[in-house]
């Protein structure tokens, strides 16, 4: 028997209570030094509706990051500049192929702090973009939450983000449970492993039910036409008007063309943790462009550096699948297979959501005559649903169906 690994979640900025969400609810406002940023993010939906965000940002000063001290301040700054970036690029009328120094210069420093790319990642849109309606509210209940920022100002977009926040909060409790299961394998305590896998199954089943609630307040046509275009990145977006990506202008003749995936739930460390803990292996999707190691592996680059390190570490010590394969205790194997089945069902639910919110609206979408080019316009009436790309830049249905099938195939005969 081997001793416990004694993995300290705090070393990886993972909360025992909230998982990959912060221990404390995110900061709602930066200090006075950053009042100019706060004034624009506060009226972001109106500025986008009136096509005046770019002009407002072009008039901004270039603010220094020297006054950001605490992690919540850095997270708030990352959120603000993520929304500025995608708002500036995708403001109605056609995409901007240039990002001004007012965004680029501070955003590069802030992104470096987290080892994150300078784009709107899942962290900005979800992990650091919520508040509780009261200090003692249970954040595992979506009714107790609100979003700090949106592009549209509408309930549909807020609900879309908060579904993910609730899933993260709900799934957090299985992280320490599965850490104990890894130690239990090392000690050959099969009953502990079985109980952990049963808890895992219940949790995945429950977050599947949360995902199904998307339809309650987020309308497919609103998501497709008004929200999704702002979530798009600059990678594989040639069809939407960004053949070279975006030039991040650093002033004085300096800058760089960059291509990034947009915000995607594939950037959720929790969902990738589920795969790692069960030993689900994913291969590159057929037809993936420039993703030798596969889309999900690529999406780890869009996670905070500490969360990425956590997944890498768990990958190196994960032992549950091999134990379920070799143990003489059939209850472990049965509990493992049930956990795999629940994760496969969760991916079935996700495919259903994508079909309802992207595939079907794309078939029905008729862009207005004066509509600027964006992801919704470019994706209208596709010749094949296989050609539809997600905001992360990969082919949607082939990727999702392959991920679902690879999960199913992890089951132990």
Residue 413 belongs to some domain of the structure: no
**β-pair partners for 99:** 248
Residue 59 belongs to some domain of the structure: yes
Q: Please report the pLDDT score of residue 396 as a whole number.
A: 81
Residue 323 belongs to some domain of the structure: yes
Residue 388 belongs to some domain of the structure: yes
Residue 169 belongs to some domain of the structure: yes
pLDDT at 63 > cutoff 90: yes
Residue 385 belongs to some domain of the structure: yes
Q: Please report the pLDDT score of residue 270 as a whole number.
A: 98
pLDDT at 381 > cutoff 70: no
Dihedral in degrees, nearest 10, Cα atoms 9, 14, 17, 22? 150
Q: Please report the pLDDT score of residue 24 as a whole number.
A: 94
pLDDT at 85 > cutoff 70: yes
Give the global pTM. Answer: 0.94
For 43, the domain range is: 11-408
pLDDT confidence tier of residue 291, bands split at 50, 70 and 90: very low
Residue 62 sits in a domain whose CATH number is 1.20.58.480
Average pLDDT over residues 270-290: 84
Cα 44 from Cα 202, distance rounded (Å): 39
pLDDT at 289 > cutoff 80: no
pLDDT at 369 > cutoff 50: no
pLDDT at 385 > cutoff 70: no
Residue 5 belongs to some domain of the structure: no
144-186 tens-digit pLDDT: 999 999 999 999 999 999 999 999 999 999 999 999 999 999 9
Phi-psi region of 263 (alpha: psi -120 to 50; beta: other; left: phi over 0): beta
Can you spell out the DSSP letters for 67-107? Answer: T--SHHHHHHHHHHHHHHHHHHHH-TTS--SEE-HHHHHHH
Nearest to 185 by CA among 309, 311, 278: 278
Cα 278 from Cα 261, distance rounded (Å): 27
Cα 36 from Cα 217, distance rounded (Å): 32
Mean pLDDT of the chain: 92
pLDDT at 13 > cutoff 80: yes
Quote the tokens at residue 174.
């299985």
pLDDT at 373 > cutoff 70: no
Cα 286 from Cα 268, distance rounded (Å): 22
Number of helices (H), then strands (E), in the chain:
20, 5
Beta strands in 267-309 (DSSP E): none
Q: Is the dihedral of CA 178, 183, 185, 190 positive or negative?
A: negative
Residue 379 belongs to some domain of the structure: yes
Q: How far is CA 74 from the centre of its chain?
A: 18
The answer to whether the annotation marks 350 as part of a ligand binding site is yes
Q: Name the domain count of the chain.
A: 1
221-254 tens-digit pLDDT: 999 999 999 999 999 888 889 999 999 999 999 9
Q: Please report the pLDDT score of residue 290 as a whole number.
A: 46
């Amino acid at each position: 028997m081997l001793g416990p690994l004694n993995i300290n979640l705090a070393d990886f900025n993972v909360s025992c209570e909230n998982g990959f969400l912060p221990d404390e609810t995110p900061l709602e406002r930066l200090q006075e030094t950053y009042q100019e940023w706060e004034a624009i993010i506060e009226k972001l939906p109106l500025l986008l509706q009136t096509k005046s965000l770019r002009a407002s940002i072009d008039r901004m000063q270039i603010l220094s990051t020297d006054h950001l001290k605490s992690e919540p301040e850095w997270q708030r700054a990352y959120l603000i500049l993520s929304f500025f970036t995608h708002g500036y690029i995708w403001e109605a009328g056609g995409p901007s192929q240039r990002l001004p120094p007012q965004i680029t210069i501070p955003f590069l420093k802030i992104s470096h702090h987290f080892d994150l790319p300078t784009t709107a990642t899942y962290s900005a849109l979800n992990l650091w973009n919520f508040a509780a309606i009261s200090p003692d509210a249970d954040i595992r209940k979506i009714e107790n939450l609100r979003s700090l920022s949106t592009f549209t100002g509408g309930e549909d977009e807020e609900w879309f983000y908060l579904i993910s926040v609730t899933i993260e909060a709900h799934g957090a409790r299985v992280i320490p449970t599965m850490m104990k299961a890894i130690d239990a394998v090392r000690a050959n305590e099969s009953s502990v492993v079985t109980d952990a896998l049963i808890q895992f199954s219940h949790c995945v089943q429950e977050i599947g039910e949360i995902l199904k609630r998307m339809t309650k307040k987020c309308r497919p046509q609103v998501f497709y036409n008004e929200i999704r275009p702002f979530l798009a990145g600059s990678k594989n977006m040639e069809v939407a008007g960004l053949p070279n990506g975006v030039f991040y202008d650093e002033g004085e003749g300096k800058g760089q063309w960059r291509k990034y995936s947009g915000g995607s739930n594939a950037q959720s460390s929790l969902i990738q943790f589920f795969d790692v803990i069960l030993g689900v292996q994913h291969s590159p999707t057929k037809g993936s462009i420039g993703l030798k190691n596969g889309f999900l592996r690529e999406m780890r680059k869009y996670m905070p550096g500490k969360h990425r390190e956590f997944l890498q570490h768990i990958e190196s010590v994960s032992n549950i699948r091999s134990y379920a394969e070799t143990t003489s205790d059939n209850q472990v194997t049965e509990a493992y297979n049930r956990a795999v089945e629940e994760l496969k069902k969760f991916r079935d639910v996700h495919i259903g959501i994508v079909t309802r919110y992207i595939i079907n609206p794309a078939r029905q979408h008729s862009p207005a005559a004066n509509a600027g080019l964006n992801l919704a316009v470019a994706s209208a009436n596709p010749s094949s649903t296989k050609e539809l790309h997600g905001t992360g830049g990969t082919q949607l249905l082939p990727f999702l169906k392959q991920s679902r099938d690879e999960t199913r195939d992890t089951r132990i005969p």
